[in-house]
Structure 1
Amino acid sequence: MTAILHTGDPERGALWQQIVTRELPDIDFRCWPDAGDPAEITGLIAWTLDAELVASLTNLEILFSIGAGVDQLDLSLLPPHVRVVRMIETGITNTMAEYVAMAALALHRDLPSYVDSQRSGMWAPRDVLLTAERTVGVMGLGQLGRAAIRMLAPLGFRVAGWSRSSTDVPGALCFADDAERDEFLAQCDILVCLLPLTDDTRGILDRSLFARMKAGASLINVARGGHLVQDDLIEALDSGQLRYAFLDVAQPEPLPEGHPFYSHPSIMLTPHIAGVTRKETAVHALIDNLRRARTGEPLEGEIDRARGY
């Protein structure tokens, strides 16, 4: 790899430049806008893609995503031969699993209702169930979904998992493909979405899916805002089909002022902070992949561009 170009947060770029140069002195690490000769750049680090910049990188070989997903990247801008690698690192994995556990416990113990009661000046206790009396279902059994299950299972929840392809995950009863999705959904007291965003999964959290869940179940969406049909969620909450929603993602981000999600009493909303790429640790995942690329080993997190994940 001749040179690699970092785009985005300048502070992160400066830190990564310092660490990569120390660990891999033969790598020419550059930070935008100081790109130098674009023909020398074979690696690009980015959260989003600029069409003019990509067109100038005539020898680009690998795109490294800053995040755990790649749906925010317009991959149509890239020549077919360019490899695309999503970020896999402990900072993202651990913070995501912690968030899912926090949200599941908050919904299990009716925190949205207590927050609303407090603001209304009411003292309104509710019945308390054990975690063993709740089933948390995780849609998407990749690295993040598996990490969430590892965090949930020791809390005592009954845990189920669903993915497109058949897989086994310790601590969870697993279901696969459309044929078993209804059986999976019918068990869920709390549904967690950790699916990749693709053409097949866009809008999957809709009226039809909510109707297949238990009446009074709750939703946690920590994947992408594009998975959720917003009007269908409001309808499901207002009708009582769903009890609560814990949302860390939206479309667009940030949501516009006055959006109903901000004030809805059954929604808890956070600003896309569930799984965080920690610049101090993520750089080491990048370095590992740079070493792999140099020796011809498989890259950790490389996606199948035809599938989008």
Structure 2
Amino acid sequence: MIRALLAAPARYWPEWSPHLTHAFAAAGLEVDLVAEPDGGDFDYVIYAPGGTLSDFSTLPGVKAVFSLWAGVEKIIGNPTLTMPLTRMVDPGLVEGMVEFVTGHVLRHHLGMDAHIHGQDGVWRNDVVPPLARNRKVSVLGLGQLGGACARALAGLNFDVVGWSRRAKEIPGVACLSGDDGLEEALARAEILVLLLPLTPSTGNLLDAKRLALLPQGACIVNPGRGPLIDDDALLAALASGALGHATLDVFRQEPLPPEHPFWASKGVTVTPHIASATRPETAAQVVAENMRRAEAGALLLHLVDRAAGY
């Protein structure tokens, strides 16, 4: 019998345990799933931030830790976590992110806000948007989420360029890498999508200097991580008119405090970290498959590269 600990906030148990139990059975695994440490040994930890577990050295027999979050910045620096760590790449999360990103890129591309918020009797038909093939979109981050979004946008005929730290190839998407590639991706981005992980090298990546590389009136969609952007530099660029709009789903502090200037800025749309979510019905299958692999001595899916930070 395999023993697994669901180390997560208490609210996860009623939502996740039925799906995990079903997925384990479907994978042919006999698993005793536990909500709290009970003094016994555990083979695996299924982890989400916000629970009571912080010292992994108290669970010396654990073979691997399976994170339920796509981002691992809240756990990767824990010195007691010495066992293999995987991040969540959930098909449902990917689908949800593609829907959010394509929706907001289309919103900015088509200029929908002028009509949604302009119900004042004024007939605004003086600006006709270009076709998607004439709209330049750059996607920073070409992992599972960013790659899927770049492919979807290219499928809608947008002129898409993607950038990642390491060189990648995606059919239909011009892929750039390195510092020069980043500057090129920014300089042509009428709409910029941020889907990079948060690492020491990506914090404040969009500072005042890099924001100034964007074309006049460019729009930003950030469902990645809040600290990718320098907040003050962003507000200054919006106030000057250098940037047209920023749709932000993630922030340095969440929930975003009511007094934060993003709320009052007409150039900012705040969405409350809803771009996508890990869905238990699909994510549980990913956990079960990784546990099956571990038990079979196979390579784990989505193993975190601790040096890279994701």
Structure 1: give runs of 5+ residues left out of the alignment.
none
Q: What is residue 295 of structure 2 aligned with on the other side?
A: 294
TM-score (normalised: structure 1): 0.91
Q: What is residue 234 of structure 1 aligned with on the other side?
A: 235
1:25–1:168: structure 2 CA closer, same or farther, 3 Å change rule? closer
CA contact under 8 A between 1:244 and 1:267: conserved in structure 2? Answer: yes
CA contact under 8 A between 2:192 and 2:221: conserved in structure 1? Answer: yes
TM-score (normalised: structure 2): 0.91
1:183 aligns with 2:181: no
Deviation at residue 188 of structure 1 after TM alignment = 0.8
CA contact under 8 A between 2:151 and 2:170: conserved in structure 1? Answer: no
1:156-171 alignment to 2 at 5 Å? 156-171=157-172
Among all aligned residue pairs of Structure 1 and Structure 2, give the percentage whose two residues are the same amino acid.
35
Q: What is residue 127 of structure 1 aligned with on the other side?
A: 127
Deviation at residue 110 of structure 1 after TM alignment = 1.9
1:170–1:162: structure 2 CA closer, same or farther, 3 Å change rule? same
- In terms of fraction of residues, the more helix-rich structure is 1
Pick the aligned partner of 2:22 from 19, 24, 29. 19
1:56 aligns with 2:26: no
CA contact under 8 A between 1:21 and 1:29: conserved in structure 2? Answer: no
Structure 1 residues 61-112: Cα deviation after superposition (integer angstroms, max 9, x where no partner): 21111111111225324343x1110011210111111111001001112233
Q: CA RMSD in A?
A: 2.0
1:279 aligns with 2:280: yes
1:205-220 alignment to 2 at 5 Å? 205-220=206-221
1:35-184 alignment to 2 at 5 Å? 35-38=37-40, 40-48=41-49, 50=52, 52-80=54-82, 82-118=83-119, 124-125=124-125, 127-128=127-128, 129-184=130-185
Separation in 1, partners of 2:173, 2:268: 27
1:86–1:74: structure 2 CA closer, same or farther, 3 Å change rule? closer
Count of residue correspondences: 304
Separation in 2, partners of 1:225, 1:114: 28
Separation in 1, partners of 2:176, 2:29: 47
Residue identity opposite 1:143 in structure 2: Q
Deviation at residue 21 of structure 1 after TM alignment = 4.8
Structure 2: give runs of 5+ residues left out of the alignment.
none
Separation in 1, partners of 2:159, 2:80: 43
1:212–1:250: structure 2 CA closer, same or farther, 3 Å change rule? same
CA contact under 8 A between 1:113 and 1:266: conserved in structure 2? Answer: no
